[in-house]
A and B are shown apart, each in its own frame.
Chain A
Amino acid sequence: MRAQFVLSEIGVGLRRNLTMTFAVIVSVALSLGLFGASLLMRDQVSTMKGYWYDKVNVSIFFCNKNDADTGANCAKGAATEQQKNDILAELHRLPIVQNVQHETSDQAYKHYKEQFGDTPVAGLVTPDQLPESFRVKLKDPTKYDVIKSAFSERPGVQEVQDQRDTVEPLFNLLNGMNIAALCVMGLMLIVALMLIVNTVRVSAFSRRRETGIMRLVGASSFYIQMPFILEAAIAGLLGAAFACVLIVGGKAILINNWLAQKIQVINFIGWDSVAQVLPLVLLIGLLMPALAAFFALRKYLKV
């Protein structure tokens, strides 16, 4: 195989098809950029999940003396010590429970003050309005249902609350955005593939004289197809390189310079996750157009 010959063929092909090549590069860049971004977002969500699920508990709130009208369980007023001790003993027997913390009304009031500090509402709340609770930490946070079904109907229990419920909507939102990004990526990918197929077709058509002669003099089909496939692969690789620039730029500007400054409670993904995504983006950018070109050639270039 004569490298120089193949390279000059590729150069001619890419230049002859400049606008198409440009369209391929842009669409590959956008689709792979979205692909990389959604991979990174999934990473982000899973690190956040790990972080938050580690901190959240299942809370069993007990009835207050003011709660008599809030539900059947509380009809007899505040929960008795006997009821609390029964529940505590049962919790300790459950294998999925890691530990149980008892939060009294006073402690709850203190936490409430810390959280809402100076807001006007905080002044109106008194310790006896806040219910006493057990903070149950589970070995597996998803097993919340076991606790809920076991204790929510007990007398003296006002409510069993999974704190995951409060963070879940956020994750659902992030996942939804991720799925949306993947859908857009899928569409862009289809556009990119169709552009590649079309580019190859035009390219094969404009060089049909050459390929016809190559066929006649007995060039192998590999040799005939090679310039077209490499052409697509090079355009794809350029697109993937742009996608990498987009991803790195997005991480630097959007996360490092903006979000990380604004929201300090979340620890954002670092450069190591980005470094893991980039080779994948480049590889797909190289292989996908090459494969598309290969299958397009089977149709448009008779060998």
Chain B
Amino acid sequence: MVTHTDGSRNTATRAPTQVDRGASVIRFDNVSKTYPKQNRPALRDVSLEIERGEFVFLVGSSGSGKSTFLRLLLREERASHGAVHVLGKDLAKLSNWKVPQMRRQVGTVFQDFRLLPNKTVGQNVAFALEVIGKPRGQIRKTVPEVLELVGLGGKEDRMPGELSGGEQQRVAIARAFVNRPMLLIADEPTGNLDPQTSVGIMKLLDRINRTGTTVVMATHDQQIVDQMRKRVMELEKGRLVRDQSRGVYGYQH
């Protein structure tokens, strides 16, 4: 398990931010999303605001619109109605060629890790920097740092297949965080992991959150949500039915 406790140690290396402290990282204004050829909207009239440095759980049963919510954040989809602002930019007005620039400031982690099986741990993390054209010297310096941060120091040359699920997810988090993004989106990051490993991953995400990165995490893991006591937003049939700071998972309302 991870033993780092000093969450603030990376704030010094953070890239200059474009978003002022206190400004909202995510803002939805009456957002609806209807997929083509479907009658029922996947999201209907959702308005919310997430500020810098927040840790937000997104809960709701399957089909409640969590994935659509995350896809809108990444601009994999565009809203049918309403405005989505991410990191101060209106995604509807963002031209296609500027989308990659936006995504560089957003880290993403998935349930299925999405690592490249034929690359080592170090290469997997370095890949994220290579493809956005970072100089080699910087890559060589940053990759060990971030692997150390996620608790995988010294495992750079291992292949993903040799690692446990929890370790693989740490590699994925390292890759998502290596750019020091403003926003980290995690789609059920503990969905494939046992409860104990999940706790380790949550500690890691919490530490990343404490460096100032906003974390939005979609999850079905009741235990984790109840333990962490963070802001909880619940979606049901595309509507935002609950938004509680220090909330619990519960269907009990």
Residue of A nearest to B109 (CB): A216
B127 within 8 A of A: yes
Contact with B along A200-234 (1 / 0, CB 8 A): 00000000011011111111110110000000000
* Chain A residues in 8 Å Cβ range of B128: 213, 217
Task: Report if A215-B133 is in contact (Cβ < 8 Å); known contacts: A209-B114, A221-B97.
Answer: no
* Chain A residues in 8 Å Cβ range of B136: 2
A277 and B41 alpha carbons, distance in the complex (Å)? 59
Chain B nearest CB from A18 CB (Å) reads 18
Residue of B nearest to A12 (CB): B118
B116 within 8 A of A: yes
Please state if A216 and B103 are interface contacts (CB–CB under 8 Å): yes
* Chain B residues in 8 Å Cβ range of A265: none
Chain A nearest CB from B111 CB (Å) reads 14
* Chain B residues in 8 Å Cβ range of A5: 130-131
Contact of A213 among B74, B106, B116 (CB under 8 A): B116
Chain A nearest CB from B188 CB (Å) reads 16
Please state if A1 and B133 are interface contacts (CB–CB under 8 Å): yes
Please state if A218 and B132 are interface contacts (CB–CB under 8 Å): yes
Please state if B100 and A2 are interface contacts (CB–CB under 8 Å): no
Contact of B102 among A2, A209, A218 (CB under 8 A): A218
Contact of B130 among A2, A215, A220 (CB under 8 A): A2
B179 within 8 A of A: yes
A217 and B174 alpha carbons, distance in the complex (Å)? 12
Residue of A nearest to B172 (CB): A213
Chain A nearest CB from B39 CB (Å) reads 25
A138 and B234 alpha carbons, distance in the complex (Å)? 93
Secondary structure class of chain A's binding surface, majority of residues: helix
B101 within 8 A of A: yes
Please state if A217 and B97 are interface contacts (CB–CB under 8 Å): no
* Chain B residues in 8 Å Cβ range of A212: 114
B108 within 8 A of A: yes
Contact of B103 among A210, A218, A223 (CB under 8 A): A218
B52 within 8 A of A: no
Contact of A219 among B96, B106, B108, B131 (CB under 8 A): B131
Contact with B along A89-118 (1 / 0, CB 8 A): 000000000000000000000000000000
* Chain A residues in 8 Å Cβ range of B130: 2, 5
A216 and B185 alpha carbons, distance in the complex (Å)? 11
Chain B nearest CB from A26 CB (Å) reads 30
Please state if B131 and A223 are interface contacts (CB–CB under 8 Å): yes
B78 within 8 A of A: no
Please state if A215 and B103 are interface contacts (CB–CB under 8 Å): yes
A250 and B91 alpha carbons, distance in the complex (Å)? 59
B175 within 8 A of A: yes
B237 within 8 A of A: no
Q: Which A residues from 27 to 50 make CB contacts under 8 A with B?
A: none
Q: Which B residues from 109 to 165 make CB contacts under 8 A with A?
A: 114, 116, 127-128, 130-133, 136
* Extra 19 A-B pairs, beta carbons < 8 Å, given A218-B100, A220-B132: A1-B133, A2-B133, A209-B114, A212-B114, A213-B116, A213-B175, A215-B100, A216-B74, A217-B103, A217-B175, A218-B103, A218-B105, A218-B106, A219-B131, A220-B100, A221-B96, A221-B100, A223-B133, A303-B96
Residues of A within 8 A of B (CB): 1-2, 5, 209-210, 212-221, 223-224, 303
Residues of B within 8 A of A (CB): 74, 96-97, 100-106, 108, 114, 116, 127-128, 130-133, 136, 175-176, 179
5 of the cross-chain contacts (CB-CB < 8 Å) are: A215-B103, A217-B103, A217-B176, A221-B97, A223-B131
Which 4 pairs of residues, A with B, have the shortest CB-CB distance? A218-B104, A218-B103, A219-B131, A217-B128
